[in-house]
Amino acid sequence: MSVSTAKSDITSILKPATRAAWKSARTAALKTVRFSMPREIGLIASVNAALNSNDFKAVQAFAFFLRESPLSDDEAVRILKDARKIVHDLSSEFADVVEALLSLSWKQRSKKAVRAYTEFSIDVLLAHSSHIHVGVPNLIGNWIPSSLDGCDWIQGSPSEGVRKELEIVHALLNRILTAVPIAMDVVYDATAANFPYFKRPTHVTAGFLHNLLWLIEYKPIFAELLLHLALQKLLILDVHAPPAEIDLDEEADPHIATARSKRSRWVKHPIGRTLDICLMKLYKFLESKCRPAPDSTDEDRCSQNRFFKILLNIFENVLLPSHDTHHVQFVIFYVCSFKKLFAQSFLCMLLQKMQNPKTSAVIRHAAICYMASFLARAKFLPLNTITSYLKKLCRWAHTYIDDSDEECTSNTNIVFFSVCHAVFYLIAFRAQDLTASSKNLRFLQSLQLSRLVLCRFNPLRYCLPPVATAFAAVTRAHQLAHCYTVLEQNTSHKLAIVYRHDEALPEKTLDTFFPFDPYSLKLSNKFIKPNYLVYKVYELKDPIESAVSQSSKKSSTGTSLGFNT
C-alpha cells in the first residue's frame, strides 16, 4: 500500500465522506448537545436566572433553541404559555428571546397553537411597547407571497387555503391595532419597507397589494396613507411599462398575441402584467368604496364622498406632479365615472390649479393637460360640461391677451399657450358634438376663436401640428377662424429639430401630453372601456378639408398626440 493510499484511508475514517454528511452530523450534534439543555431548563427558569444573577447565557441559549429547533405543536403551546406567565418580566433586556418567540412559524399549526401565539403576542406588546417594532413587521412579512406560490394567487386573489391563513394574520393585526394604538406608525413603516420591488413576480406584488387593501377594510384610518403608498409604487411600475413596450411585446409573437386577445388574457410584458392585475384589484376596491348603490343611505354617501376626497388629494400630490405615466391616472378617471359630483370636483380642482398664479407653471401646465384630456375622453360627461369649460378657458385666454403688453414665448409663460392648445384640441376632438346644431355653432362663435388665433402671441405656433391642422380644418369648415394663413407663415419661419422619440417636431412646441390617451392594459381595461370615448376623424363636407384632416392624423408618425383611437 502506498503512502498516499494509506493517508487517504485515514482521512476517510476521520472525516465524513461528503459535505452533506458532515452537515448532517453537525446538526445532530447541535440538537443533542445544545437543544437538550434549553428544553430541560425551560423559558421561565432561564429568565429567572437572568433576573436573579444577571446571567443571560441560558436565555441566549433558549433563543437559539427557538430559532433552530423544530417544535411540535404541543411544545410550542407549552413554551408560549410559559412566556405569558412571565410576560411582565420580558422587558427590552430580553428582546432576543421575545423576537425568537414572535418569529415562530404559527399560521399552519393547530388551533390551540395559533391561539397561544395570538394571546402571547397581544400580551407582550401591551406590556412592553418596545417589542412592537419586532412583532408588527413580523406580521406584515406574512403578507408577502413566496415566489413559488404563484398557483395560490390567481389574478391577485388568494386560494381558499391561503385566504384562511391570512385571515388569522389580519385578525391578530386588528386586535393589536385596537389594543395598542401607537402601533399604527409601525404598521405603516413596515408596509412601506416590505412593499415588493417592482421586478418581483406578478403574484408577489399583487398579493401584497391585496393585503394592503384588506387592512384598509377593517382600519379605514389607514386609507389615505396606504392608498398614497400604493399609488406611488404603482407609478414605478407604470413608468417601467410604457405602452410602446407593451405593444412591442404583443407584436413580437403574433400567434401568442392573437390567442391571448381572443381569450382576453393579460399582456405579455412582465411589469405591464403586474400593473394590469394590480390596477384591476384597485378598481374593484375603489368601486366598493365610492360607487353609489340604489339603496345607499346618507351615511354611505358621506363615506363615499369622504373617500373620493382622499383620492382627489392623493391625485393632487402624487399623480399630478408625476411625469411619463400612462395608466395609473385612470384611477381618477374611473372613479369620476361613478358620480357627476366627482367629475365636477375633479375638473374644479384642475381649474383652480390652472388659475392660481402662485402655483408653479409646470403644475398649471399639467392641470390643463389633464383637463383637456379628461373633457375629450370622458364619455360620461354631458356636452354642457364641455362647453362650460371651453368658455372658462377662452375667457381666461382673452383676459390674458387684454392684460399683457409684452410678447411672450413658451418659456416665459407656458400657461397661456397651454390653455390655447387645450381649446384647439378640445374643439378638434369633440367637433362632431360641438358642431351638431346651430345652437352649438353659435356657442363656438361666441368664443371669439379668431381673436385667439390672430393675436400677437400667435398660439398656433406652439401647437402640435396634428392638433393645429385638425383645429384649422374644423374652424374653416364652419367659418369660425382663419388659421391656414397663420400656419403657413409659421411654417416658413420654423426649422425642424429632433425632439424626444427621434421625431422632427417644430422648434417651438409645447411639451404637451395627453394623460388619458388609449389604455394598453387588457384585464383592467374592462373598467375603463365603457366610459372611454374613442376619437373619430371629423367628417367634413369639403373633400379638400377632409384630406387635410386625414393627413393631420397621419402626421403623428405613430406617436401619441391625443388623436389616436
The reported pLDDT for the residue numbered 481 is 87
φ, ψ (nearest 5 deg) of residue 158 = -75, 155
The reported pLDDT for the residue numbered 361 is 92
CA count, 13 A, side-chain hemisphere, 3: 0
Give the whole-angstrom CA distance, residue 470 versus residue 548.
8
Tell me the per-residue pLDDT of 92-105, one tens digit each, with 9 for 90 and over.
Answer: 999 999 999 999 99
The reported pLDDT for the residue numbered 261 is 47
For residue 257, give the C-alpha cell: 398575441
The answer to whether 308 and 292 have CB atoms below 8 angstroms apart is: no
Between the two ends of the chain, the Cα-to-Cα distance in Å is: 86
Give the whole-angstrom CA distance, residue 13 versus residue 154.
53
pLDDT below 70 — which residues of the chain?
A: 1-38, 249-265, 405-412, 492-509, 539-565
Alpha helices, DSSP H only, in 128-159?
Answer: 132-141
The reported pLDDT for the residue numbered 3 is 45
The answer to whether 132 and 184 have CB atoms below 8 angstroms apart is: no
For residue 528, give the C-alpha cell: 375603463
Give the whole-angstrom CA distance, residue 241 versus residue 522.
13
Tell me the per-residue pLDDT of 150-172, one tens digit each, with 9 for 90 and over.
Answer: 899 999 999 999 999 999 999 99
The reported pLDDT for the residue numbered 324 is 84
The answer to whether 481 and 449 have CB atoms below 8 angstroms apart is: yes
CA quadruple 557, 559, 562, 565: dihedral positive or negative? Answer: positive
Which element (helix H / strand E) includes 32?
A: helix 19-33
Tell me the per-residue pLDDT of 417-467, one tens digit each, with 9 for 90 and over.
Answer: 999 999 999 999 999 999 999 999 999 999 999 999 988 888 988 888 899
The reported pLDDT for the residue numbered 39 is 72
The reported pLDDT for the residue numbered 397 is 95
Q: Which contacts (CB < 8 Å, 24+ apart) does range 392-401 have?
A: 392/351, 393/419, 393/422, 393/423, 394/423, 394/447, 394/448, 394/449, 394/452, 396/354, 396/355, 397/423, 397/452, 398/448, 398/451, 398/452, 401/451, 401/452, 401/455, 401/457
The answer to whether 156 and 281 have CB atoms below 8 angstroms apart is: yes
Q: Give whole-number Cα distances, 262 to 258, 265, 268, 460, 481, in Å.
A: 6, 8, 14, 43, 46
The neighbour count for residue 42, using CB atoms within 10 Å, is 15
- Mean pLDDT (the chain, rounded): 85
The reported pLDDT for the residue numbered 40 is 74
The reported pLDDT for the residue numbered 249 is 64
The answer to whether 539 and 481 have CB atoms below 8 angstroms apart is: no
The answer to whether 452 and 419 have CB atoms below 8 angstroms apart is: no
The answer to whether 235 and 241 have CB atoms below 8 angstroms apart is: no
Give the whole-angstrom CA distance, residue 262 versus residue 506.
41
Q: Give whole-number Cα distances, 119 to 66, 133, 139, in Å.
A: 18, 18, 14
For residue 50, give the C-alpha cell: 437572568
How far is C-alpha 157 from the chain's CA centre?
17
